[in-house]
Amino acid sequence: MAQRHPLQITLALIKPDLSANGPKVLKVLKHIEENQFRILAHRRLLWSKLDAEAFYGEHRGKFFFERLCGYMTSGHFHALILEKPGAITDWRALIGPTHPPRARLNAPDTLRSLYGMTDTRNSFHGSDAIDTALKEISFFFPDFDTSGWKEESIRAHDDKA
């Protein structure tokens, strides 16, 4: 019998390099839905340097911190809450390896292989664990009820059936 994954939510970011190309964003959104993710929330944002430094604060002092913050403030980007069983693992598998040139060699059907440019300009972000996902979702969607979403989602699904 196949193992069922628990219903999860995760944060997905479509970063500025890709967000600058509207038709490609629409293709990515379609790709997300074709992979059975449900988009619970979607925002288009433009960050200040303080916003980027707050979100990426755990990386302060690392060699890539300033470059990453500069990149994330270079233009609009999209933040989404995605839901499905196994959402965290499935989203990370769909976006692929962090480094797009490696993704093109080792995972050519992933989103980073298709749209990413470099290790910094890799077009996507995905939460790496449940605790991280809840923290990141709260950062981008402070009004989203991370404690009550599951019951509400199950109720909404039952109402459609």
Segments making up each domain of the chain, as ranges: 7-160
Residue 28: name the closest of 96, 85, 103 by CA.
96
Q: Which helix (H) or strand (E) holds 106?
A: helix 100-106
Which one of 5, 42, 78, 125 is the catalytic residue?
A: 125
For position 154, what pLDDT does the model report? 59
146 annotated ligand-binding residue: no
Q: Is 125 a catalytic residue?
A: yes
pLDDT (tens digit per residue) in 104-126: 999 999 999 999 988 888 999 99
For position 152, what pLDDT does the model report? 67
Specify the amino acid at residue 57: G
3 pLDDT tier (thresholds 50, 70, 90): low
For position 11, what pLDDT does the model report? 98
pLDDT at 4 over 50: yes
For position 101, what pLDDT does the model report? 87
27 annotated ligand-binding residue: no
pLDDT (tens digit per residue) in 42-92: 999 999 999 999 999 999 999 999 999 999 999 999 999 999 999 999 999
Q: What average pLDDT does the chain have? A: 91
1 pLDDT tier (thresholds 50, 70, 90): very low
For position 149, what pLDDT does the model report? 82
CATH number of the domain located at residue range(s) 7-160 in this protein: 3.30.70.141
140 annotated ligand-binding residue: no
CA dihedral 56, 57, 63, 66 (to 10 degrees): 70
Does this model's pTM top 0.85? My answer is: yes
pLDDT at 155 over 70: no
**105 CA to centre of own chain:** 22
Residue 83: name the closest of 152, 14, 8 by CA.
8
84 annotated ligand-binding residue: no
φ, ψ (nearest 5 deg) of residue 154: -65, -40
118 annotated ligand-binding residue: no
